[in-house]
Amino acid sequence: MKDSSGKKTMYLVLLGAPGAGKGTQAVVIAKEFKLPHLASGDLFRQAVQKGTKLGELVKSYMEKGALVPDDVTIQVISVRLNEPDCAKGCVFDGFPRTLEQAKALDKALAERGKALDKAIYIDVPEEELMKRLGGRWVCRQCQAPYHEVTSPPKTSGKCDRCGGELYQRPDDNETTIKERLKVYFAQTTPLLDYYQEKGKLVKIDGKLGIEQVSESVLEALGSAKVR
Ligand code: AP5
Ligand code: MG
Ligand code: ZN
What is the C-alpha separation between 138 and 144, in angstroms, rounded? 6
What is the C-alpha separation between 100 and 82, in angstroms, rounded? 20
Residue 47, H or E segment = helix 40-50
Is the CB–ligand 1 distance for residue 210 below 6 Å?
yes
Output the residue whose Cα is nearest ligand 1's atom 2. 41
Residue 90, H or E segment = strand 89-93
Output the residue whose Cα is nearest ligand 1's atom 40. 19
Q: What is the pLDDT of residue 223?
A: 82
User: What is the 138 CA–ligand 2 centroid distance (Å)?
Assistant: 9
* Atom in ligand 1 nearest the alpha carbon of residue 180: 25
Q: Looking at the predicted structure, is the pLDDT value of residue 11 above 80?
A: yes
Q: Domains in the chain and their CATH numbers?
A: 10-125+176-224 (3.40.50.300)
Ligand of minimum distance to the alpha carbon of 27 = 1
Q: Give 107-123 pLDDT, tens digit per residue.
A: 999 999 999 999 999 99
Q: Looking at the predicted structure, is the pLDDT value of residue 25 above 80?
A: yes
Report which of 194, 212, 192 is spatially closest to residue 203, judged by C-alpha positions.
192
**Model confidence at 2, in pLDDT bands (50, 70, 90)?**
very high
Is the CB–ligand 1 distance for residue 72 below 6 Å?
no
Q: Looking at the predicted structure, is the pLDDT value of residue 227 above 70?
A: no
Residue type, 160: D
Q: What is the dihedral of CA 183, 110, 46, 178, to 10 degrees?
A: 10
Q: Looking at the predicted structure, is the pLDDT value of residue 75 above 70?
A: yes
Q: Give 206-225 pLDDT, tens digit per residue.
A: 999 999 999 999 999 998 77
Ligand of minimum distance to the alpha carbon of 143 = 3
Q: Looking at the predicted structure, is the pLDDT value of residue 130 above 70?
A: yes
* This model's pTM is above 0.95: yes
Three-class secondary structure of residue 38 per DSSP? strand
Sheet arrangement for strand 201-205: 37-39, 89-93, 10-15, 118-123, 201-205
DSSP annotation string for 6-31: S-B-EEEEEE--TTSSHHHHHHHHHH
Catalytic positions are 22, 97, 136, 169, 180
Is the CB–ligand 1 distance for residue 16 below 6 Å?
yes
Q: What is the pLDDT of residue 162?
A: 97
Neighbours of ion ligand 3 (CB under 5 A): 139, 141-142, 144, 159, 161-162, 164
User: What is the 172 CA–ligand 1 centroid distance (Å)?
Assistant: 10
